[in-house]
Copies of this chain bind each other. A is one copy, B any other.
Amino acid sequence: MTAVPLGPGPEFDRIRAIARALGDRAAGLGDDCAVLPGGPESICLSIDLSVEGVHFDRRWLVPTEIGWRATAAALSDLAAVGASVDGGLVGVSAPRSDPPELFVDLMRGVGDAVQSVGGHVLGGDLTGGDRLTVSVTVVGRAVRPVMRSGARPGDGVFVSGTLGGARAALVRWQAGGSPDPAARARFVRPEPRIALGRWLADHGATAMLDLSDGLAGDARHLAAASGAHLEIDLAAIPIGAGVPAAAGSEDPAAFAAQGGEDYELLVTLPGGFVPAAAPAPGLVRIGSVSSGTGVRFFRDSRDVDLAGFDHFA
């Protein structure tokens, strides 16, 4: 059994149970990408499902946005290991009553997303179904893939961009309103951080993952995989557009740290690293790595209890 340790939660209990049952039929489960040796560069692969009613709602996204978002979510896993992008394979299941243009528009969004990071649409599968479901597998390459497991005591903890924008859009829609345009853009058109991820792999990143379940949950995955303890200061978290308004009476930083699907990078780097050198969208230091286990979130020296998103909680 070779699964990377994961943080707590019923979704991850399922993954642990699967890894136990598979035994030596599995290899390397639980990191952002599968990594296969392939000459001077390793082949990196990741699969991501987007299901109508779970990951998106057609009242909120047009088909090109559904395609972009599903693809960007998968590409974000390549960013998280510091890989370049060859492209993606896309399976789409849709009701027979949907017009053929649905597939075309959805695939335009897929094509735009892979092209934005230098890749191509490499293949696909179309079938009937009764809920629109998009499965994207991305493939890329890395000379030195950065896994979740390399954080060491003394490293700094950094995030790219800003957090909470996707959740800010979602809560507005769920309340029947219209999101702030910048927050909406974060939800419908996340930018996979391919260039930044490659730069970080070249500049000493010790561990990296992309924020899909929210910082509160994903930081625990990184800590578990690395066998280390993370301390994260809520006051340092970069807050996305529309977050303070959407958070209401909640602490905007806690709201942002518990917001899924920002697709920013969470990365650990050796103590002397200077974040100002990083390319767009930039990095902010939010904490540090020490020996131990688990993650402590704090504000003004006081512990704050935060939960991550779980598909089966």
Q: Is A111 an interface residue (CB 8 A)?
A: yes
Q: In the complex this chain forms, how many copies of it are found?
A: 2
Known: A18-B103, A25-B120, A29-B121. A51 touches B127 (CB 8 A): yes
Contact A100 B46 (CB under 8 A): no
Docked complex: A1-59 residues within 8 A CB-CB of B: 10-11, 13-15, 17-18, 21-23, 25-29, 31, 33-34, 36, 38-39, 43, 45-49, 51, 53-55
Q: Is A180 an interface residue (CB 8 A)?
A: no
17 sampled A-B residue pairs with Cβ under 8 A = A10-B100, A15-B124, A18-B124, A21-B104, A22-B111, A28-B123, A29-B122, A29-B124, A33-B123, A45-B139, A46-B123, A47-B125, A49-B129, A51-B127, A96-B312, A126-B312, A133-B135
- Interface of A: prevailing SS: mixed
Q: Which residue of B lies closest to A52 (CB)?
A: B129
Docked complex: A115-141 residues within 8 A CB-CB of B: 115, 120-131, 133, 135, 137, 139
Complex: A45 Cα to B87 Cα, angstroms: 11
